[in-house]
Structure 1
Amino acid sequence: MLRQTATRLTRPCTQLRLLIRANAFSTSPACFANRAVVYTETGNPADVLRVQSYDPLPPPPSDSVTIRFHLSPINPSDINLVQGVYPVKPAQLEFSGQQVFVGGNEGVAEVVDVGTAVQGLRKGDRIVVGKPQFGTWSSHRVIQAQDVIKLPSRGLSDVNAATIIVNPPTAYNMLHSFVELKEGDWVLQNGANSAVGQAVIQIAARKGLKTINFVRKRPDLDNLIASLTELGATHVFTYDALADKSLAKHVKQWTSDRPIRLMLNCVGGKDTTAMTRLLGDNAHLVSYGAMSKQPLSLPTSTFIFKNLTAHGYWQNRWYNEHSRQEREELMRTITDLKLKEPEHEILDLSSETSDEAATQRLRETFVRMEQGFGKKVLLRL
């Protein structure tokens, strides 16, 4: 484990400096400026994460910009990454000869300094990062301009801006990339109350598409159904309904002239297999998650007799395959949709007078999240 250095705002100096361009932490006496959420080994976030201070950054290289993060969400995939069960590598930097990881994949930031050769960006621009697993749980970073996605200047709240890079584009691209859907067509999905699921409902409703949505049974089910219906859901069921043979009959009646050709899956397991029985011929099943941690099992007959096509979707791959201009166009498209802000809570650690106090609050929040706290948590460092 990396030994924590006690750092307080009341002290005149700290011995930490983050040199982003060199991907290294180094030590030198300077006054406190910034913080990041770091860890040195994977495990339970409430045990392994801590808040670490570091000094002001040097001016950015000619092809880069310095950014200040305002809000950075804690997503399920971020937690999985800290736990060591997500199949990508986190941002890794060197501190005092040891490697540390910086958490976070998403967040809204402001450009505060611009390299001499950078074009199309200026101080004050609001941006998000298109580089996967950049380490957004930090206050300031230096990043190459090519990895920055500029956001529209208007029409987007800070909360929506902080959560725009992953879930809404995933929903939008899955609805547009696999099947050419027209007004009146149907979409089937599980995990409908997830951030992607709610975005799917809203985007589909704006396009005149109808949705059949599945969620887990829970004590506040009626409130959840009402909430999803308000967003634009056509029908909402629990997975228990899949055992009722009358459901298939109802779906067939509803979709008789428009058989379901697109199903979105973030759960996996036997319930997802049962949902495929509701699909029409030549349908496409798109998987973007596996929340049940169970394998996706599909009967061979579905492929032979219904000509089902199965896909996997990962938004990071889309960013890797598209230009900065295409990324910014997607952000404008998402902004114009005016999606509802996710229910959220802001964890503001910027006022904590020591790294130890900030770490304690951070870990307490992760304990609450582990116990089923339902709101999206956004960090401010």
Structure 2
Amino acid sequence: MRPGDWVIPADAGLGTWRTQAVFPEASLLQVPSDIPLLCAATLSVNPCTAYRMLADFESLAPGDSVIQNAANSGVGQAVIQITKATGIRTINVVRDRPDLPKLVERLKALGADHVITEDMLRKPEMKEIFKSIPKPRLALNCVGGKSTTEMLRHLQPKGTMVTYGGMAKQPVTVPVSAFIFRDVRLRGFWMTQWKKDHAHDKESLSSMMDTLCQLVQRGQLGAPACTTVPLEDFKEALVASTQPFTSSKQVLLL
């Protein structure tokens, strides 16, 4: 590393609330200085989570499909963009809301193949979707509750559901038949734990960051929707972040 290089923390929380700090080189990850600032600031959590879940649980190939809920979240937006760049199709589930058409348009502009509401998961129209793409081998769950159970019904036999969040604060309920007759697999993922497990495997971390930065440089991966807020207005950012149907990250500028 040299003076002027751009770096981000290797671990969550490092350097929080500081404008200057001295760290060992191993605590930092170098990123290209020609990528947008908001991409660099948001790179180490949501895109990494999306990348690992797509890479580590199923061997996906171009033409395969993935289904995910909370598709408008930071991770969801990264999943849409990474799969678009690699030829994988996505079915994206969001909650119904007043500005639904605008959200659908925004996710499709990112590369989403299908955007549906949670209610649609239970409707016969789902059969129409599977006339043009195969049933998913991978489901990504950030909600829990009914959304998860309904999403699981559309998973291929021997498919995998990965849970990385629980926004509904309800348990994941799985019918016994899904295990016995379709042999589905349920897994969990937490990026912080992955980093702990790979603390001595710098190559895996570097390779992932290089791939993500290349996607950014090629214009195939952007920052999630962000609202930049001066640090002194942090109270406004905190209030905004708790509003329902929020699709924008609050980014504090020091």
The TM-score, its normalising length taken from structure 2, stands at 0.90
Mean Cα displacement is larger for which, 340-349 or 189-198?
340-349
State whether structure 2 residue 219 is matched by structure 1 residue 337.
no
CA displacement at 1:288 relative to structure 2: 0.8
Supply the AA of the counterpart residue of 1:239: E
Which of these residues, 315, 334, 343, is aligned with residue 191 of structure 2? 315
| Larger-gyration structure (1/2) | 1
Task: Find the residue that maps to 1:281 and give its secondary structure.
Answer: coil
Unpaired stretches in structure 2, ≥5 consecutive residues: none
**Counterparts of 2:55 and 2:95, CA distance in 1:** 26
Which of these residues, 159, 164, 168, is aligned with residue 292 of structure 1? 168
State whether structure 2 residue 177 is matched by structure 1 residue 301.
yes
Which of these residues, 336, 341, 347, is aligned with residue 229 of structure 2? 347
The question of whether the paired residues in 1 share the 8 Å contact of 2:120 and 2:126 is answered with no
Percent identity between matched residues is: 41
More helix, by proportion: 2
Map 1:154-169 onto structure 2 (within 5 A): 154=34, 156-169=35-48
The question of whether the paired residues in 1 share the 8 Å contact of 2:78 and 2:224 is answered with no
The question of whether the paired residues in 1 share the 8 Å contact of 2:45 and 2:191 is answered with yes
**Counterparts of 2:110 and 2:236, CA distance in 1:** 32
**Counterparts of 1:135 and 1:305, CA distance in 2:** 50
**Counterparts of 2:156 and 2:237, CA distance in 1:** 44
Task: Find the residue that maps to 2:168 and give its secondary structure.
Answer: coil
The question of whether the paired residues in 2 share the 8 Å contact of 1:147 and 1:324 is answered with no
Which of these residues, 233, 249, 253, is aligned with residue 376 of structure 1? 249
Which of these residues, 168, 181, 198, is aligned with residue 77 of structure 2? 198
Task: Find the residue that maps to 1:143 and give its secondary structure.
Answer: coil
Unpaired stretches in structure 1, ≥5 consecutive residues: 1-120, 350-357
Match of 1:213 in 2: 92
State whether structure 2 residue 16 is matched by structure 1 residue 143.
no
Task: Find the residue that maps to 1:330 and give its secondary structure.
Answer: helix
RMSD between aligned alpha carbons? 1.7
Mean Cα displacement is larger for which, 310-319 or 323-332?
323-332
The question of whether the paired residues in 2 share the 8 Å contact of 1:189 and 1:197 is answered with yes
Which digits, 9 at most, give the CA deviation of each residue in 1:20-71, with x for residues without a partner?
Answer: xxxxxxxxxxxxxxxxxxxxxxxxxxxxxxxxxxxxxxxxxxxxxxxxxxxx
The question of whether the paired residues in 2 share the 8 Å contact of 1:151 and 1:328 is answered with no
Question: How many residues matched?
Answer: 247
**Counterparts of 1:153 and 1:252, CA distance in 2:** 42
Task: Find the residue that maps to 1:123 and give its secondary structure.
Answer: coil
Match of 1:23 in 2: none
CA displacement at 1:233 relative to structure 2: 0.9
CA displacement at 1:370 relative to structure 2: 2.4
Which digits, 9 at most, give the CA deviation of each residue in 1:134-177, with x for residues without a partner?
Answer: 352322233332221111343x1111000000001111111111
**Counterparts of 1:157 and 1:237, CA distance in 2:** 30
Which digits, 9 at most, give the CA deviation of each residue in 1:86-130, with x for residues without a partner?
Answer: xxxxxxxxxxxxxxxxxxxxxxxxxxxxxxxxxxx2322211111
State whether structure 2 residue 49 is matched by structure 1 residue 177.
no
The question of whether the paired residues in 1 share the 8 Å contact of 2:92 and 2:116 is answered with yes
State whether structure 2 residue 104 is matched by structure 1 residue 225.
yes
**Counterparts of 1:347 and 1:271, CA distance in 2:** 33
More strand, by proportion: 1
Supply the AA of the counterpart residue of 1:337: L
Supply the AA of the counterpart residue of 2:80: I
